[in-house]
Amino acid sequence: MLIMEVVENVVWFLVAVFILVTFHELGHFGVARLLGVGVSKFSIGFGKPLYSFRSRRSGTEYVLGALPFGGYVKFIDEREDHVDSQDLPHAFNRQNLWVRTAVVIAGPAANFVLAIFFYWLVFGIGVPGVEPIIGYVQPGSSAEAIGLQRGDRIAQINGRKVRSWGEHRYYLLDQVQNGETLTFTIETPTGENKTVSIESSRLESGQMNPLILEQKIGVLPRIAPVVGTLIPGEVADAAGIQVNDRFMSIEGVPINGWRDVVEIISSRPEQTTRLSVLRNGSIKLAVVVPKAINSMNEVVGRIGVGPANHVNVVIRLGAGEAIVRAVEATWLLSKLTVGMIVQMIQGKESTKSIGGPLSIAKYAGASAEYGLTAFLMFLAILSISLGILNLLPIPVLDGGHLVYFLIEGIKGTPVSETFMYRSQQLGFAVLAVLISFALYNDVLNIFKF
C-alpha cells in the first residue's frame, strides 16, 4: 500500500509540474513570438530529449526532456550563439528594453492567469464546505466579548454574504490583511439578526494562517459528532466504537457537536466514561477509559477518534461571479504568499513552512484523492507560488533578469556579461541553499523529527 501511495503521489506531482511549467514557458514563448523575438528552442523538462522536432516555418526546436522538473525557452541571442544575418533583427539582445521586459515577465504572469482559470473552474464546479454556524466560542476570547454564541450563523462579514465556513475564513483573511474592522452580521438560532464588530488591530494584522486567525477570534465551526477516523487498537476501537457512529451522549450529557465530544473526553483522563452512539438507527452503549496524554502542559483524555468530513453545503457560482471570485482569490493568496516571505526574512514566520518536491508530491496525491475540485485548488495555489518564486530578485530566475533590466533602465546601458555571469553563479548558490533547505524540511516532516 505504501509503495502504491508513493507511486500515485509521484505521478500526480509530475502531472502538476508538467501543467504549470508548460504554461509558464508558453507565457515566455507566446509573448516572444508576438513581439517578433526569435525562439531557437522550447523545452519542457531537462536532460536527454525523449522527443523533439523542428518547425520548418519558424526554425524552433520543440523538446520533451527526460527530467520533467522544469523547462526553458531559448531565444536567438548573439551573446550565446552565432546568429545568421537575416535573424539579427529577431535576436533577443537587440530588442528594446520594454520588449525584453515583457517577454521575461510573461512567464510568471501566465502562472497567475492559470491560477485564475483553475479557481474559475473550481467555483463553477462547486466548492464543498460546512455551513457557517458557530459550534464553539472560546471563553475569554474576542468572539465571546462581542456576544457571539454557539449556534449563531455568520450571515455576512463586512457586507459580503457568507455561504460556508470556508468563505468565512477567506473573508476574515481579506479584511484583516487590509487592516479593516471586522463587522459580522449574525443570525441567532431564534431568528434574531444582530451586528457586532472586532477591530482587526486586536488580531495581529500580519497573521497569515487562517486557522490561527480563527483561534485568535475564538470561534470554531459546528462539526457533526460523527466518527470519521478510528485509530486501530486505541480506546474507542477496543470499546467497539465504529466509523460513522454518531455520539448522542457522554456521561448523560447530550452531544450537539464534535466540540462537545472533545471537551468531555478531554476532561476525563483515566476515568470510566459511559457514552451512547447512534449506529444504523439503533442506540449502542459503550464504556471507555480515556487515555491520559500531555497536551500543551496539561493532562487530557483521548480515545483515538476523529470527526468525519461533514460537507453539508456546496458553493456553486455562475460564470461571471466565478471569475470575480477567482481574481479575488488569486490576489489574496498572492498577497499572503508575499507577506509570508517578508515575515520569514524578518524572522517573524517559521522557515519550517518551506516545502520541497517531497511535500509537493504528498499534497498533489492527497488533493487528487479528494477529487477534481481539490486537485484544481492545489494547482491554483502551486501556480501562484511558482509565479511569485520566479519573480524573486535572484539571478537565473525571471526576477533576476528584471533586476538587470531595471539597472539598464537607470544607467542607460545593459549590465556587463561579467557582472551577469558572476551574479548568476551567486544565484545558483542561493537556489541550491533554498532547495537543500526545502528538502531538509521534507525529511523532517516525513520522519517527524
**pLDDT tens across 98-136, in order?**
999 999 999 999 999 999 999 999 999 988 888 898 988
Same domain, 216 and 257: no
pLDDT in tens, 354-404: 665 666 666 666 666 667 888 898 899 889 989 999 999 988 889 999 999
Set of cell numbers at residue 93: 539582445
Local structure of 93: helix, strand or coil: helix
Same domain, 187 and 155: yes
Local structure of 441: helix, strand or coil: helix
Q: Give, rounded to a whole angstrom, the gap between the first and last alpha carbons of the chain.
A: 23
Boundary of a domain, candidates 194, 221, 248: 221
Please, where are the H alpha helices in 178-318?
210-217, 235-238, 258-266
CA atoms within 13 Å, Cβ hemisphere of 240: 10
Other beta carbons less than 10 A from residue 44's beta carbon: 21
Note whether 158 and 167 are within 8 A (CB).
no
Does residue 270 lie in a domain region? yes
Whether the predicted pLDDT of 284 surpasses 50: yes
Handedness of CA 314, 315, 320, 323 (dihedral sign): negative
The CA–CA distances, whole Å, from 186 to 158, 176, 190 equal 11, 19, 11
Boundary of a domain, candidates 179, 200, 221: 221
Set of cell numbers at residue 135: 459550534
Highest mean pLDDT among 13-22, 63-72, 350-359: 13-22
DSSP 8-state secondary structure symbol assigned to residue 133: B
Other beta carbons less than 10 A from residue 91's beta carbon: 19
Same domain, 255 and 211: no
Which residues partner with 197 through β-bridges? 183
Domain extent for 290: 227-307
What pLDDT, on the 0 to 100 scale, is given for residue 447? 52
CA atoms of 358 and 25, how far apart (whole Å): 23
CA atoms within 13 Å, Cβ hemisphere of 43: 18
CA atoms of 407 and 398, how far apart (whole Å): 15
Does residue 18 lie in a domain region? no
pLDDT in tens, 31-45: 999 999 999 899 988
Note whether 265 and 240 are within 8 A (CB).
no
Percent of the chain topping pLDDT 90:
35
Does residue 426 lie in a domain region? no
Same domain, 139 and 216: yes
What pLDDT, on the 0 to 100 scale, is given for residue 174? 79
Whether the predicted pLDDT of 350 surpasses 70: no
CA atoms of 304 and 254, how far apart (whole Å): 20
* Counted domains in the chain: 2
Of the candidates 207, 183, 206, 185, which has an alpha carbon nearest to the alpha carbon of residue 194? 185
Same domain, 239 and 208: no
Average pLDDT of every residue of the chain = 85
Does residue 215 lie in a domain region? yes
Of the candidates 250, 253, 166, which has an alpha carbon nearest to the alpha carbon of residue 214? 166
Boundary of a domain, candidates 190, 221, 252: 221
Does residue 320 lie in a domain region? no
Whether the predicted pLDDT of 221 surpasses 90: no
CA atoms of 77 and 87, how far apart (whole Å): 10
* Whether the model pTM is above 0.75: yes
Q: At residue 9, what is the residue type?
A: N
Whether the predicted pLDDT of 449 surpasses 60: no
Does residue 7 lie in a domain region? no
CA atoms of 100 and 399, how far apart (whole Å): 13
Same domain, 177 and 216: yes
What pLDDT, on the 0 to 100 scale, is given for residue 273? 95
Whether the predicted pLDDT of 271 surpasses 80: yes
Q: Looking at residue 174, which CATH number applies to its domain?
A: 2.30.42.10
Phi, psi (degrees; rounded to nearest 5) at 423: -70, -35
Set of cell numbers at residue 150: 454557539
Whether the predicted pLDDT of 6 surpasses 80: no
Does residue 27 lie in a domain region? no
Q: How confident is the model at residue 446 (pLDDT cuts 50, 70, 90)?
A: low
Residue corresponding to grid cell 533602465 = 409
Whether the predicted pLDDT of 139 surpasses 90: no
What pLDDT, on the 0 to 100 scale, is given for residue 448? 47
- What positions carry a catalytic annotation? 25
